[in-house]
Amino acid sequence: MGKIERFEDLKCWKAARELVKEVYTLSDTGKLSKDFDTRSQFRKAALSSMNNIAEGFGRFSRKDFIRFLDTAQSSVLEVQSMLYVLSDLDFLSIDKIDLLRIKTDETKNLILGLIRYLRESDK
């Protein structure tokens, strides 16, 4: 991996940014747009994934960075969990749920890959 100097260059941050955009776009439609608590929690979880990657990148220790990355991937899992609620309540179509599942899996895997890389390069 080449030297990354900005969090914006991280693949996992870019994927989280795409996830946030998709979550915001879809949460402005249908029944979900009217359920302010659920919509807010859905958005906060997605935002947390992106922002924790950025915040961790700015930390001075690798251990802190990994901790923030772990929080970021946990937030992605929160988005994934919420997809079941959104599906069960028919807030989003199955096609949109499936799209978000793909995006959350991709984002989570990229974050976990960076965590593995950082832990391996520490040895």
DSSP 35-91: -HHHHHHHHHHHHHHHHHHHHHHTSSSHHHHHHHHHHHHHHHHHHHHHHHHHHHTTS
pLDDT digits (tens, 9 = 90+) for 50-79: 999 999 999 989 999 999 999 999 999 999
The CATH number assigned to the domain with range 7-121 reads 1.20.1440.60
Check residue 120 and give its pLDDT. 93
pLDDT band at 2 (very low <50, low <70, confident <90, very high): low
d(CA 71, CA 49): 7
pLDDT at 123 over 80: no
Q: Which two tokens stand for residue 49?
A: 């994934």
Check residue 87 and give its pLDDT. 97
Tell me the whole-structure pTM to 2 decimals.
Answer: 0.94
> Rounded to 5 degrees, what angle do the CA atoms 103, 106, 108 make?
105
Across 89-108, average pLDDT: 97
Give every CB contact of residue 17 below 8 A, 6+ residues apart in sequence. Answer: 50
> Rounded to 5 degrees, what angle do the CA atoms 19, 56, 80 make?
30
Across 5-33, average pLDDT: 96
Check residue 4 and give its pLDDT. 84
How distant, in Å, are the alpha carbons of 17, 42, 71 from that of 25?
Answer: 12, 12, 24
pLDDT band at 3 (very low <50, low <70, confident <90, very high): confident
